Amino acid sequence: MKRILVIGSGGQIGSELVPFLRKKYGKENVIATGRRTVLPKVITEGGPWVYLDALNQESLKKVIYENSIDHIFHMASVLSATGEKIPQTAWDINVNGLINVLEVSRRYGVERVIWPSSIAAFGPTTPRENTPNETILQPTTMYGITKVSGELLAEYYYKKYGLLTLSMRLPGIISSETAPGGGTTDYAVEIFYEAIKNKKYTCFLKEDTKLPMMYQPDCLKCHVNFVEIDESKFKRHVYNVTGVSFTAGELAAEIKKIIPEFTIDYKPDFRQEIADSWPKSIDDSVARKEWGWNPKYDLAGITKDMIEKLSKRLV
Ligand code: AKB
């Protein structure tokens, strides 16, 4: 049985990835870790939980060794908008945390390190429509710089030490359980909470801002693929993946079909410049061809499911 460590298990993806993995691999085999002290019960009571700061290499060694870990999901990250406010902390957590994980993993015989990159690895000089897997990587945000550095570091540890590293360039993730924090695509989650609670939302991006997005169930499936799929299928270590691209206006219109009283206005802030430097749509045909990536949710499917799930909780 696989022994899996999740670092950053209190975050938007980690908090749902942990229960998902526990269901699949057995609760004792998935060790949830992170630095957050306020965590959902499903993390702390659903199986083993250990406080862990990835910047502390000694603690990392201890947890990996004592739990005979063979697969690591390293999910801890400072996102794009926060990264612009605290660039050095973003570098420390995103890059120094990752190199610690890679270094300890290669020394302690970990088999796979799965670490999400992001569409933020691209920048204004990258083709913005149908952005290919192999293309220009010249990001202009600190978050993007940490993602490109991380992709290079992960590749280095594979080539030099044979540690299997796998990364997906995630688009904005839309999820119903834990809200994201500090990202540019966060509007696409906030909008649902506000539509259900207050029937109105002020968006921090312009109406015609188009970005690639993915629904959480597809995102979780993508992570598990990286544990399950045979190494021989992966011809590279970083993959574009996407669900669906839409503008803020198109999302609002889809919500209005279910909540007709919903209204939206637009007050773009500093995050607009970040969004304008990112792709509008992603070509993920390489992931589809090499290991069968096949997301299920489109805009209508995401909207319906989010409103159903959140309505049960929020009213
Ligand atoms: C962000 O908005 O910073 C993230 C991302 C696209 O990586 N959601």
Are 98 and 231 members of one domain?
yes
Report CA(202)–ligand 1 centroid distance (Å): 19
**Whether 134 and 200 share a structural domain:** no
Q: Residue 135: what pLDDT?
A: 98
Q: 147 and 75 in one domain?
A: yes
Instruction: Give the pLDDT of residue 38.
Output: 83
* Atom nearest to 83 CA in ligand 1: 3
158 tagged catalytic: no
In a domain, 285, yes or no: no
Structure tokens at 74: 């390293």
Ligand 1 in contact with 119 (CB < 6 A)? yes
- pLDDT (0 to 100) of residue 138: 98
Nearest CA to ligand 1 atom 8: 172
On whether residue 286 sits in a domain, the answer given is: no
Strands 117-118 and 172-174: unpaired
Q: Among residues 23, 11, 144, which one has the least CA distance to residue 73?
A: 11
Q: Is residue 150 part of a domain?
A: yes
pLDDT at 19: 97
Tell me the average confidence (pLDDT) per consecutive run of 10 residues in the chain, 315 residues long.
Answer: 96 97 97 90 93 97 97 98 98 98 98 98 98 98 98 98 98 96 97 98 98 98 97 97 98 98 98 98 98 98 98 89
Which is the catalytic residue, given 51, 65, 143, 157? 143
Whether 228 is covered by a domain: the verdict is: yes
Q: What is the pLDDT of residue 103?
A: 98
Any bridge partners for residue 71, and if so which?
Answer: 4, 112
Write down the pLDDT at residue 37: 80
Which residue has the least CA distance to atom 1 on ligand 1?
Answer: 183
For residue 158, what is the domain's CATH number?
Answer: 3.40.50.720
- Domain check: are 21 and 53 in the same one? yes
Establish whether residue 172 lines the binding site of ligand 1, counting it when its CB lies within 6 angstroms of any ligand atom: yes
pTM exceeds 0.75 for this model: yes
Tell me if 185 CB under 6 Å of ligand 1.
yes
pLDDT at 99: 98
22 in any annotated domain: yes
Regarding whether 269 and 228 lie in a shared domain, the answer is no
141 touches ligand 1 (CB under 6 Å):
no
Cβ burial 255-281 (10 Å sphere, 16+ → b, else e): beebeeebebebebeebbebbbbbbbb
Residue 50 has which token pair? 């250990």
Residue by residue, DSSP assigns 113-167 as EE--EEGGG--TTS-SSSB-SS------SHHHHHHHHHHHHHHHHHHHH--EEEE
Is the domain of 229 the same as that of 82? yes
The predicted structure's pLDDT at residue 40:
87
Tally of structural domains, the chain: 2
Do 181 and 258 belong to one domain? yes
Whether 287 maps to a domain, the answer reads no
Q: Is residue 292 a part of any domain in this protein?
A: no
Residues 6 or more apart in contact with residue 249 via CB below 8 angstroms? 207, 208, 264
Same-domain pairing of 268 and 136: no
- The CATH number that applies at residue 199 is 3.90.25
What per-residue confidence (pLDDT) applies to 151? 98
Output the CA 179–ligand 1 centroid distance in Å.
12
Is residue 196 located within the same domain as residue 104? Answer: no
Count the neighbouring beta carbons within 10 Å of the beta carbon of residue 13: 24
User: Does some domain include residue 258?
Assistant: yes
Q: Which two tokens stand for residue 153?
A: 């570091």
- 184 CA from centroid of ligand 1 (Å): 6
Angle at 25 between CA 76 and CA 74, to 5 degrees: 15
Domain span at 178: 174-212+244-280+297-314
Q: Are residues 116 and 224 in the same domain?
A: yes
Let me know whether 84 and 203 are in one domain.
Answer: no
Would you say the CB of residue 275 lies under 6 angstroms from ligand 1? no
Residues 169 and 305 in one domain: no
Cβ partners under 8 Å of residue 163, min gap 6: 102, 105, 106, 110, 113, 157
